[in-house]
Copies of this chain bind each other. A is one copy, B any other.
Amino acid sequence: MKIILVGASGDVGRAAYAELASRHDVVSAGRSSGDIQVDLTSGDSIEAMYRQIGPVDAVISAAGEVEFGRVSDMTTDKFRFGLENKVLTQINLVLFGLETVREGGSFTLTSGILDRDPVRMGTGAAIANGALGGFVTSAAIDLPRNLRLNAVSPGLLDVSADQYGAWFPGHDPVSSKRVGLAYAKCVEGGITGKVVAVD
Contacts and interface: CB of A to CB of B under 8 A. Distances in A.
A125 B139 CA distance: 11
A49 to B, nearest CB: 16
Of A71, A129, A141, chain B has the most CB atoms within 10 Å of the CB of: A71
B139 A135 contact: no
Interface of A is mostly: helix
21 contacts: A71-B98, A72-B98, A75-B95, A76-B91, A76-B92, A76-B95, A79-B91, A87-B127, A87-B131, A114-B134, A115-B133, A118-B137, A118-B193, A123-B142, A125-B138, A126-B135, A126-B138, A126-B139, A127-B138, A128-B134, A130-B135
Interface of A: 43, 70-72, 74-76, 79-80, 83-84, 87-88, 91-92, 94-95, 98, 114-116, 118-123, 125-135, 137-144, 193
